[in-house]
Amino acid sequence: MEKICVFPGSFDPVTIGHLDLIERAAGLFDRVVVAVLHNPAKNGRFTVEKRLELLEKACAHVPNVSFDHFEGLLVDYMRSVGACIVLRGLRGVRDFESECQMAQLNRQMAPGVETLFLPTDPAHAHISSSAVREIGLFGGDVTPYVPATISADVARLLSPQPDR
């Protein structure tokens, strides 16, 4: 039976930390589905379509990775794609506390769903999508924090707009 892992997140934008986790998961599972969560309660900087486009471009070299988006409960999405493993990256202790709570809730709602926590590479532990957005929106250089294949796209999309 094919082992399918889902890596859910906002990926607004995808960072080198995300890419590292995707590449590592691709070595552990038959298929990795990177699933962009569309949360209507949040205003993302990039559209879901743009996030998927950037993810596909950043991960083009990883053959067993596919991309999708979903709304609603993760466990419902997991059932719809036949996956039983959720991948979550941990940058530190604070991430573990919130992610562990979510893993327990998911397991209670769907007993067959397991969560795999992968610690972030220490070189990337300080990077978050929100920090990248802030750096870019204030005119800073985002290239050290996003995959090289999309750095120009992200920089252009985040560049400060002149006052009108």
Region 116-145: mean pLDDT is 95
Q: Please tell me the predicted confidence (pLDDT) of residue 164.
A: 39
The secondary element (H helix, E strand) that includes residue 7 is strand 4-9
Catalytic, 18? Answer yes
Catalytic, 50? Answer no
Q: What is the pLDDT of residues 42-58, one digit of tens each?
A: 778 899 999 999 999 99
Q: What is the pLDDT of residues 107-117, one digit of tens each?
A: 999 999 999 99
Q: Which residues contact 100 (CB under 8 A, 6 or more apart)?
A: none
Catalytic, 3? Answer no
Instruction: Answer yes or no: is 163 within a domain.
Output: no
What's the predicted TM-score (pTM) here?
0.93
Does residue 102 have a pLDDT over 70?
Answer: yes
Instruction: Answer yes or no: is 164 within a domain.
Output: no
Region 71-80: mean pLDDT is 95
Domain that residue 79 falls in? 4-158
**Number of domains present in the structure of the chain:** 1
Catalytic, 91? Answer yes
**Active-site pick, 31, 129, 133, 151:** 129
**DSSP track, 86-123:** EEEEESSHHHHHHHHHHHHHHHHH-TT-EEEEEEPPGG
Q: Please tell me the predicted confidence (pLDDT) of residue 162.
A: 54
